[in-house]
Amino acid sequence: MALAFDEFGRPFIILRDQGEQERITGLAALKSHVVAAKAVANAMKTSLGPKGMDKMLVSPDGDVTVTNDGATILDNMDVENQVAKLLVQLSKSQDEEIGDGTTGVVVLAGALLEHAESLLDRGIHPIRIADGYEMAASIAVDHLKAISDVIEWGPDNIEPLINTAMTCLGSKMQMAEIAVKAILAVADLERKDVNLDLIKIETKVGGRLEDTQLINGIVLDKEFAHPQTPKELKDVKMAILTCPFEPPKPKTKHKVDVKSVEDYNKLAEQEQAYFRDMVKKIKDSGATLAICQWGFDDEANHLLLQNELPAVRWVGGVELELIAIATGGRIIPRFSEITPEKLGKAGVVREISFGTTKDRMLVIEECSNSRAVTIFIRGSNKMILEEAKRSLHDALCVTRNLIRDNRVVYGGGSPEIACSLAVSEAADKVASLEQYAMRAFADALEATPLALAENSGYQAQETLATVKAKQVTEKNHRLGIDAANKGTWDMKEQNVHDPLISKQQQFLLATQVVKMILKIDDVIKKGGQE
């Protein structure tokens, strides 16, 4: 920075780094946004649908992840462009709010920006395009409600929920049933609310994916502290502790001088007295199992065995909360506060081991409050376990969405085609420039069925034209792309369902992000870096 004067003697400042800045404005900036968004959307298109291809993601450390889950792919991609990062955030928002449709929302946003580019070339102002998109999204969401069907289900009729969960799990019938039963175990059906935090997903390498099971209780990746502890306990009363099994340590600096054997014995006896007092307080409360957040040394461990008090150490805070919820116990922060009323109750606590590796885990079952469950996933390697965990998360979210709102639309791109036709028809009745943006929105909606058809090995344009014509002539909004090759275009016959709120959120989120991007017409980069 330097100070200079003009011909009239007025001072002005010269910024020396001005030449290092790169600035893109107007149409060039908007087109650069479109290019970045198209690159991300095109990478995601091939992962859409049941026949979508997987992506192999290699981290800087060499860890390999193989998945076709949109949120996971984008989260692990090394994205530098800021507009592309907005699409990553879009996918995360869809995943956090709905849990499903993370790939479709990015594909739709990319298609909307791609069609906006041709409108910009025709001289239409980006604000008018954004307004047209918003009008079209409103019409599409209303049309989704009109074509949705209500599925009737109940505690004795969970088949419709299983069919919908299978849509995002492919053909894994057993996994879909586990997901539905887990959601129903923790759901508050009166309030139509589900707390997914009550469902713990635990994985263990070994066995087959078919060995995955739902446990009405908690599974801990721990074992009893002492190897001589009985491996199965019944009618358990457990003390859930966040205080350590050790003598208290002064907060100030201190030292102990041990000058004789008597001093050492006195110190050891005092320490033993602390341990005995702790164990006595637990035993006096009636507890038959101690679960501790912290560790304890061999001396305390031996003393617990002598007093016939099984214990588990180093249990995480999240697990402690789940155990407290499941067993109806209270988390106890100090030994002085242990009372019989604060103990959790469980019918069985058992230790299980696996194969030749002798890995051990604890299972807490028959709890007083069954509203906390664990899905225990088995698999041959870590990669399969992680993908199964992601698929199961999608199925849990879909089932939760159906409990919140039991309206569904049918899959295979059928709602996108139906909404595309509805928006095109509405655009003909709009006299302003927004009609061009509305038609562009209608064309962008076809990107999803086009990608589904292409990923399924069909001639994409020809298949889409056929299905679109059939929807008009037969007046059947359930016709979509037969990605599963079952010989019928009718998605209702194939039991391919999507929750209504998932599809609505896709349309609205994609439109809002595209509207935001279209309003960015000035990009300043310092030193060529974003």
In tens, the pLDDT along 154-212 reads 778 888 888 888 877 754 566 888 889 889 888 888 888 888 888 888 888 887 888 88
Considering the domain boundaries, does residue 1 fall inside one?
no
Residue 94 sits in the same domain as residue 184: no
Among 394, 482, 490, 498, which one carries the catalytic annotation?
394
Residue 74 sits in the same domain as residue 193: no
Amino acid at 441: F
* Cα distance between residue 351 and residue 301, in whole Å: 18
Residue 181 sits in the same domain as residue 230: no
Q: Which helix (H) or strand (E) element contains residue 467?
A: helix 460-474
Average pLDDT over residues 133-139: 93
Residue 37 sits in the same domain as residue 122: yes
Nearest to 134 by CA among 437, 506, 472: 437
Residue 127 sits in the same domain as residue 197: no
- Active-site annotation holds for 102: yes
Among 65, 67, 69, 167, which one carries the catalytic annotation?
69
Considering the domain boundaries, does residue 46 fall inside one?
yes
Q: What is the CATH number of the domain that holds 269?
A: 3.50.7.10
Residue 259 sits in the same domain as residue 363: yes
Residue 355 sits in the same domain as residue 226: yes
Give the tokens for residue 1.
């920075």
Considering the domain boundaries, does residue 3 fall inside one?
no
pLDDT for residue 518: 86
* Cα distance between residue 218 and residue 237, in whole Å: 15
Q: What is the CATH number of the domain that holds 203?
A: 3.30.260.10
Residue 442 sits in the same domain as residue 483: yes
Considering the domain boundaries, does residue 9 fall inside one?
no
Is pLDDT of 347 > 60? yes
Residue 134 sits in the same domain as residue 68: yes
Considering the domain boundaries, does residue 522 fall inside one?
yes
Considering the domain boundaries, does residue 229 fall inside one?
yes
Number of residues that this document lists for the chain = 530
Give the tokens for residue 486.
């079952």
Among 67, 102, 164, 288, which one carries the catalytic annotation?
102
> Total domain count for the chain?
3
Q: Which residue has the higher pLDDT, 441 or 306?
A: 441
In tens, the pLDDT along 280-338 reads 888 888 899 999 988 887 778 888 888 888 999 889 888 898 888 888 889 998 888 88
Residue where one domain finishes, among candidates 381, 405, 429: 405
Q: Phi and psi at residue 15, in whole multiples of 5°?
A: -90, 115
Average pLDDT over residues 375-397: 86
- Active-site annotation holds for 103: yes
Residue 357 sits in the same domain as residue 393: no
Among 65, 67, 72, 103, which one carries the catalytic annotation?
103
Reported in sequence order, the residue ranges of 199-254 that DSSP labels E, i.e. its strands, are: 199-205, 213-215, 217-220, 232-241
Considering the domain boundaries, does residue 8 fall inside one?
no
Q: What is the CATH number of the domain that holds 414?
A: 1.10.560.10
The gap between the terminal CA atoms of the chain, to the nearest Å, is 22
Considering the domain boundaries, does residue 376 fall inside one?
yes
Can you give the pTM of this predicted structure? Answer: 0.79
Whole-angstrom CA distances from 389 to 169, 386, 486 are 11, 5, 27
Residues spanned by the domain of 429: 21-150+410-526
Residue where one domain finishes, among candidates 353, 383, 405: 405
- Active-site annotation holds for 67: no
Residue 230 sits in the same domain as residue 364: yes
Residue 477 sits in the same domain as residue 507: yes
CB atoms within 10 A of CB 338: 23
Whole-angstrom CA distances from 337 to 51, 281, 315, 491 are 57, 9, 20, 59
In tens, the pLDDT along 77-110 reads 888 888 888 888 888 888 888 877 788 889 999 9
* Cα distance between residue 295 and residue 276, in whole Å: 17
